[in-house]
C-alpha cells in the first residue's frame, strides 16, 4: 500500500520539481551515437554554464575573401536556393579541387570543434610518425585524458602498431589512441604546439589549439572555414584518405577479449551506415564530433560528376535525431548542384583572397592550387571502398563494443 505523504514533504517535492524544471534538468543531450547520453556527474571542463551565443561575433576574419567575414548566409550569383530548415550556427560548402567556397554561413565564427579537431591532429602527426612504428603503451601515455573521453580500448602494457592507432582515432574517435600517438610525437605539449603551427601554415586563423583530441578546454575554438581547410589538406595524404574512409575494421584485442581482435565501426554514421543513418553515395569520408559544449560537428568530402565537394557543419540548433547528418546530406546535395554553376563567395586558397572577394574565384576547370583529378579529388575517390576493412562477424562484436564505450564518449567524441 502507498504510504501517506505529509504536507511538508509534499511541498518540498513540489519545490524540487520546479527547481529542476527551471534548470532544464529534464533535458538529456544526445550522444554522438544518436542515443541519449547520461547526464554528466560534473560539468565538462571548459564548458560554460550558459548556452552558447546564438549570434556571430562582430569583426570575423576575412581570410579567403571579404564575404566570408560577413554574418549570415553568403551565396553568389547563380546559386540554387538553399535547403529549408538549416539550423547550424555555421557551415561551409567548397569545391576541393578548385578551392572555391560555393556558399557559407558565418564561416569564420570561432566555435568549439569537438573531435573534428582530430583532422588537424592527423594533418600534423601522420607525417611525423612512421607508418611502421609501434609503441608499448604505458599508463603515462594515457595520463591527462578528459573525463568521459571517447575511447577505442587501448590497454596499458600492450604494443600497438601505428596503423591500428590511426584506425582507433578515425573510426572510434579514440582519445586514448590520440594520446598514444601524441606520445610517439614527443608528448601532448609538443603535439599541441605542432598543431597550432600547422594551423597557421594552412591559413587557419580562427583555430586555437589546447588539446590534441578536441576535448573541451576554455578558449579552444576553430571554425567551419578552418575545419574545411584541415579536411582538404588531409585528403592530400593517402593514409589520411584511407583512414577517414574506412567504415569498419578489426582492432587488436586485450585481456577482455582474450587477445582476439574485435570489430569496430566508424562513428561517422554517414560513412558506416550504423544506427539508422543511410550511407551517402560517393562519400569519401571525414570526421564527426560531439561534446556538450560544442554540440554536433561534422566535416565530410564526397565526389560526384567530376567534383569533390567539402562540407563542414557546426552545431545544428534543432534538437532532432541525426540533425547534423540531415543538414550535411542537404548541403552536399546543394554543393553538387551549385558546382560549376555559381560564382564563389570566397576561396580556400588564402594566398589569393582578392579573387574570391571580387566574385572571380578560381575557375571551375581546376587551375587553383591543389586542383585536378590527380590531386585531392582522384585520391579521395580512389580511397572509397579500397580503404574499408570488412571484419568477419564484426556486427555482433561492434554492437557489444558500442554498448560498453557509449557511456564514456557522450562528452568527448
Q: Catalytic residue numbers? A: 115, 118, 173
Residues contacting residue 101 through CB under 8 Å, at least 6 positions apart:
64, 65, 68, 92, 93, 94, 107, 225, 344, 345, 346, 347, 348, 356, 361
DSSP string, 137-199: --GGGGTTPPTTB------TT-EEEHHHHHHHHHHH--HHHHHHHHHHTT-HHHHHHHHHHHH
DSSP state, residue 71: S
Give kind and range of the element (H or E) at residue 284: strand 283-291
C-beta separation of 94 from 309 below 8 A: yes
Per the DSSP assignment, residues forming a β-bridge with 309 are 95, 302
Write out the three cell numbers for 44. Answer: 565538462
Give kind and range of the element (H or E) at residue 102: strand 100-105
Q: Which of 390, 68, 56 is nearest to 228 (CA)?
A: 68
| 308 backbone dihedrals φ, ψ, rounded to 5° | -105, 115
**Helix ranges restricted to H, 202-350:** 224-234, 238-244, 269-272, 323-338
Amino acid at each position: 500500500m502507498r504510504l501517506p505523504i505529509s504536507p511538508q514533504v509534499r511541498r518540498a517535492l513540489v519545490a524540487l520539481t520546479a527547481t529542476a524544471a527551471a534548470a532544464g534538468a529534464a533535458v538529456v543531450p544526445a550522444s554522438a551515437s544518436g542515443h541519449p547520453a547520461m547526464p554528466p556527474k560534473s560539468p565538462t571542463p571548459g564548458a560554460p554554464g550558459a548556452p552558447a551565443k546564438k549570434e556571430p561575433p562582430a569583426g570575423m576574419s576575412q581570410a579567403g575573401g571579404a564575404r566570408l567575414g560577413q554574418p549570415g548566409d553568403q551565396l553568389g550569383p547563380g546559386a540554387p536556393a538553399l535547403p529549408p530548415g538549416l539550423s547550424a550556427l555555421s557551415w561551409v560548402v567548397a569545391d576541393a579541387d578548385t578551392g572555391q567556397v560555393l556558399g557559407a554561413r558565418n564561416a569564420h565564427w570561432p566555435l568549439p570543434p569537438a573531435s573534428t579537431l582530430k583532422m588537424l591532429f592527423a594533418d600534423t602527426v601522420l607525417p611525423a610518425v612512421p607508418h611502421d612504428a609501434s609503441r608499448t603503451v604505458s599508463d603515462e601515455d594515457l595520463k591527462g585524458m578528459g573525463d568521459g573521453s571517447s575511447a577505442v580500448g587501448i590497454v596499458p602494457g600492450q604494443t600497438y602498431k601505428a596503423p591500428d592507432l590511426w584506425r582507433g582515432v578515425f573510426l572510434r574517435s579514440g582519445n586514448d589512441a590520440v594520446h598514444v600517438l601524441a606520445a610517439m610525437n614527443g608528448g601532448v605539449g609538443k603535439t599541441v604546439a605542432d598543431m597550432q603551427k600547422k594551423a597557421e601554415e594552412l591559413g587557419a586563423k580562427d583555430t586555437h589549439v589546447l588539446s590534441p583530441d578536441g576535448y573541451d578546454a576554455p578558449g579552444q575554438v576553430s571554425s567551419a572555414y578552418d575545419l574545411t581547410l584541415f579536411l582538404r589538406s588531409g585528403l592530400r595524404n593517402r593514409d589520411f584518405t584511407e583512414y577517414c574512409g574506412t567504415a569498419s575494421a578489426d582492432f587488436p584485442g586485450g585481456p577482455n577479449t582474450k587477445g582476439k581482435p574485435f570489430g569496430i565501426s566508424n562513428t561517422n554514421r554517414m560513412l558506416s551506415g550504423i544506427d539508422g543513418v543511410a550511407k551517402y553515395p560517393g562519400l569519401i569520408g571525414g570526421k564527426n564530433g560531439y561534446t556538450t559544449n560544442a554540440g554536433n560537428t561534422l566535416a565530410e568530402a564526397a565526389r560526384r560528376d567530376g567534383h569533390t565537394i567539402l562540407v563542414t557543419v557546426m552545431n545544428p540548433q534543432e534538437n532532432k535525431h541525426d540533425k547534423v547528418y540531415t543538414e550535411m546530406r542537404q548541403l552536399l546535395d546543394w554543393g553538387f548542384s551549385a558546382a560549376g554553376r555559381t560564382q564563389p563567395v570566397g576561396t580556400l586558397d588564402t594566398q589569393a583572397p582578392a579573387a574570391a572577394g571580387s566574385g572571380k574565384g578560381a575557375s571551375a576547370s581546376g587551375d587553383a592550387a591543389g586542383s585536378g583529378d590527380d590531386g585531392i579529388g582522384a585520391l579521395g575517390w580512389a580511397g572509397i571502398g579500397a580503404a574499408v576493412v570488412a571484419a568477419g562477424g564484426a556486427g555482433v562484436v561492434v554492437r557489444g563494443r558500442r554498448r560498453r564505450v557509449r557511456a564514456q564518449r557522450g562528452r568527448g567524441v
